[in-house]
Chain A
Amino acid sequence: MSRPEEQVVLAEHPLPETPRGEGDEEARVARRERLRLLSRSKTFLAGALVFGVFVFCAIFGEAVVPYDPLGSPTDILNKLEAPSSSHYFGTDQLGRDVFSRVVVGARDILVVALAATLLGTVLGAAIGLVTGYFRGLVDDVLMRIVDAFLAIPLVILATVALVALGPSKVTLVVVIGIVFAPIIARTVRAAVLSERELEYVQAARLRNEHAPYIMFAEILPNVTAPIVVEFTVRLGYAIFAIATLTFLGFGVQPPSPDWGLQIKENYVILNGGYWWPTLFPALAIAALVISINLITDGISRVFER
């Protein structure tokens, strides 16, 4: 639980009015305070630790893994070996080291998920700001389009788009970004709706500010908290979406060590007792998503204060 009561007390007693230097420094103080709160949050720290390991894998994975994740011509001799001290996670049907593939596989999924979520967040925030600020006809039309998008299941939409555009990482990013944008737009719109009623927005109108300035310079900085939270939430979903789509064969293509692809290639031999080539990539997906959710929890608690 967060500790809202502390805020109650602080709010009642404004900080001292002694000069404290320039605004930039003040911003730094606020940021440092947030980081301090985050560093005290156990959920955030646990999530950040696991996520950090995956980021490390994504960046340095190829340099640290014991075997070539794409395999070598001699691998086939060691196919489907159970986990052991030479192959921590065993080997797959082609004799490739599952541990190396899981470690190196972090890169594709992280890059694609981050890019897709970023695209969705930027698009969604823009739509949310415009609909929330203008309301009226603009709001009605855009939000009905958003509703229509929300009504189509992700997988169907993605499948159609991927078939039409051909499977590639860029297609994955675009498809997931576009599917996420309406969801993010709804959250941002709700935040903007309450924000635009505040008088600083009217004060801006009384200076005859243009709408884009009011939306992006005045309101946007005040709705960053829900946007950041939404970004982290969507990042978790993006990882699921990518794994699902690659599992269905629409994403990254072999011989990539993508986790979804590994599961797809190996789940058919599960009932032959070969559980390791499927289990470890699946665990990696779960661990990554959970770590992101823990981070989300920590961040949203700090922002809620």
Chain B
Amino acid sequence: MTAATAPALELDDLNVAYTVRGIDRPVLRGVTLSIAQGESYGLVGESGCGKSTAAFALMRYLPRNGKIQSGSIRIAGQELMSMSEDGVRNLRATQVSMVYQNPGAALNPSIHIGDQVAEVFEIAGGSGAQARERTHEILGKVQISDPARVMRRYPHQLSGGMQQRVVIAMALAKDPALLILDEPTTGLDATVEAEVLDLVALLRGEFGTSVFFISHNLAVIRRMCERVGVLYAGRLVEEGQAETVFTDPRHPYTVGLLRCIPKGGLRKDVHRLDSIPGFLPQLGADLPGCVFTDRCGLAREICREHEPEFHQLGGGHASRCHFHDEAQTLPRTTPSHTEVPKRESNGVPVVKAEHMAKTFHQEGHDVRALDDLSIEIRPGETLGLVGESGSGKTTFARLLLGLTEPDQGSIVELEGHPLAPRIAKRSSDDVRALQIVFQNPDAALNRRFSVRRIINRALTKLVGAKGEGRDTRLRELAHSVRFDVRLLGARPAQLSGGLKQRVAIARAFAGEPLVVVCDEPTSALDVSVQAAILNLLADLQRDKGVTYLFISHDLGVVRYLSDRIAVLYLGRLMEVGDAETVFSAPHHPYTEALLSAVPSVEGEERPRIRLEGEIPSAADPPSGCVFHTRCPRYLGAICEEQEPPLAEVERGHFMRCHIPVDELRRLQAEPPPPRARGSQAKTTS
């Protein structure tokens, strides 16, 4: 086969192992896949499945204790396994590019963007001047509006989305045969993610590059890839056209993964999410028969004894399951139906915030992180808080909790009585009443303490429990968060992410709180674990009547769990209303854009509304309506001159927009208008 017609990538029976304490532990088990020229192939699976190992292995770039035991890797027809080190290095320099998750770490912080990108061209053999010229050109291609200016900047002066554009520009600079994207948008805001994904799709059309796309996010894969492979415990368990795999999955693992995702319309009060029982097998565990047996609801004797072959189902769809035709009958691990009794509301909001504001003083600038926010949280409800990073979500939570002191004039009331601004001044009842579950359980739990000590301390401090009474409470708590009491002696590092988050939830519930702030509680977790945690939060709310302030960038998750939703932008409340009202038109134009940015696993494409440019700096917010600089439905001068009031457009539905609600309803029924003003991403200065 010549290089011109060979597939961009061919892996044949690739086996990779890591040597840990002298023992080889298999990470990839006989992975066979191929990516045709110009094709985009997605690899999905939970963390620890071997996705990233696959990406590194195919460039022969494994850590020192990793080795390729057998198999073959061909990139554009060239066999890597028999190649010399120089050959591999040359191949990496010319044929393969990789884009990693964290663009901030992929760029050298002390070299100007221009010099970094130009280096790629210089290695390819261009002169200095030529290289800079081509740098200018490629930065334009990744839709950076002022390449000359960006070239003079250092990486830290650019936003995350802009950095990722630069990394993509560098990756494409050598016109590679294969572009590997390893979670390229994880950690970016939904709107920025959408832009980066759009860009990758656009450039793929232009350059004809083959893409190997690795992600844990099924919806992103669905949107970006023609074919997908599902990896579990280092074994490719299902493969096929993206559409087929997502609509007609034939492996219990794929079926389970898809059921974990809160899809449009599902709500906590009528539907429980399914989750996958058990845990990913330990690295290099001995797995006879089918790798998924231990977690599979359909497993039978044969699964334990015989490794299923890769059953071809036609159309390139294949499943490594003995009972692939039954996969979709996989029994649920949790009952799908749930009933939540209607709550009685006595009309007194549990939290009432009025004119909440917070100004940070940074290097001589006043940064308004939160501006005149007034909101009520009703007892027993979940208020979802959404918005891009920098919108003031976390600041609001911190003010409420008393971790940060609000500006003068801010008022927070808890069940009708005013709360002291700082936690140290609050009564012990108030302290107990407001608790939080943080995003990252690794940082939220003291890694030197055992689980028992972490929860006991909360019990002691919050409710004054001691001795036997405390032991009983500890057991009850562990039980209510479904945490095995036998693990109470373990330290956080010995637990999986999901178990750690359960401990954090138990700690938050130790003092029978009224309100629990959930700050992105599932965004560090895999989908199957996320589903279990969301179910747990819903159960706890049902049993204890607790109120949640739920902060998340994942709109699907927010929609699933929230009764009402508040949308923040630049520290201002743009829209608030019942969850279903906010999610169905008419929306505030900002909400509309946020919603359209989210890819869905069902593959239904909402008309994409592009948000141009980046969030303006809170130190220098735009005049009038703060959203006017990016608004897809910009009206005219009035938007720049007057700040619209937060008006009640429907019962209980408030919106801050000059456009009359009927007009919005009409506009949003049509396809979005093309935006006239500047269509390229702008840099912040």
Give chain A's interface residues, CB within 8 Å of chain B.
3, 5-6, 8-10, 12-17, 19-27, 30, 198-200, 202-203, 205-209, 218, 221-222
Contact = CB atoms under 8 A, between A and B. Distances in A.
Contacts of B436: 202-203, 206
Contacts of B497: 14
Question: Which of A21, A205, A208 counts the most B-chain CB atoms under 10 A from its CB?
Answer: A208
A196 B88 CA distance: 44
Tell me the dominant secondary structure on chain A's binding face: helix
Contacts of A22: 450, 489
Given A199-B444, A206-B431, A3 B48 contact: no
Given A200-B444, A221-B448, 5 more contacts: A14-B48, A16-B279, A26-B450, A206-B403, A207-B457
Interface string B46-61: 0110001000000000
18 contacts: A3-B65, A6-B20, A9-B66, A13-B48, A20-B490, A23-B451, A23-B453, A199-B438, A200-B443, A203-B444, A205-B423, A206-B436, A207-B462, A208-B428, A208-B461, A209-B461, A222-B447, A222-B448
Contacts of B495: 14, 17
Contact of A198 (B20, B443, B452, B499): B443
Contacts of A207: 431, 457-458, 461-462
A222 to B, nearest CB: 6
Interface in B430-446: 431, 434-436, 438-440, 443-446
Contacts of B489: 20-26
A15 B497 CA distance: 11
B149 interface: no
B484 interface: yes
Interface of B: 18, 20, 47-48, 52, 63-66, 279-280, 282-283, 401, 403, 423-424, 426, 428, 431, 434-436, 438-440, 443-453, 457-458, 461-462, 484, 486-491, 493-497, 499, 504, 507
Nearest to B499: A17
Question: Which of A20, A22, A203, A206 counts the most B-chain CB atoms under 10 A from its CB?
Answer: A206
A19 B496 CA distance: 13
Contact of B403 (A14, A205, A222): A205
A13 to B, nearest CB: 4
B628 to A, nearest CB: 35
Given A5-B63, A23-B453, A23-B491, A14 B446 contact: no
Contacts of B65: 3, 5-6, 9
B126 to A, nearest CB: 34
Contacts of A23: 450-453, 488-491
A172 to B, nearest CB: 35
Contacts, number: 116
B494 A9 contact: no
Question: Which of A12, A26, A199 counts the most B-chain CB atoms under 10 A from its CB?
Answer: A199
Contact of A208 (B48, B424, B438, B452): B424
A305 to B, nearest CB: 12
A14 B64 CA distance: 20
Nearest to A14: B496
Closest 4 CB pairs of A and B: A5-B63, A23-B450, A19-B486, A22-B489
Contacts of A8: 63
A21 B484 CA distance: 12
B443 A9 contact: no
A23 B489 CA distance: 4
Contacts of A17: 279, 484, 487, 495-496, 499
A200 B462 contact: no
Contacts of B462: 207
Contact of A200 (B280, B428, B445): B445
A26 B64 contact: no
Contacts of A221: 446, 448-449
B546 to A, nearest CB: 15
Contact of B440 (A6, A9, A199, A209): A199
Question: Which of B426, B490, B496 counts the most A-chain CB atoms under 10 A from its CB?
Answer: B490
A21 B461 CA distance: 26
Contacts of B448: 221-222
B413 to A, nearest CB: 19
A14 B435 CA distance: 28
A15 B499 CA distance: 12
B490 A203 contact: no
Contacts of A203: 436, 438, 444, 504, 507
B426 A9 contact: no
A20 B488 CA distance: 10
A10 B20 contact: yes
A21 B448 CA distance: 16
A198 B492 CA distance: 14
Given A206-B403, A208-B431, A5 B64 contact: yes
A105 to B, nearest CB: 40
Nearest to A198: B443
Given A9-B18, A208-B424, A3 B64 contact: yes
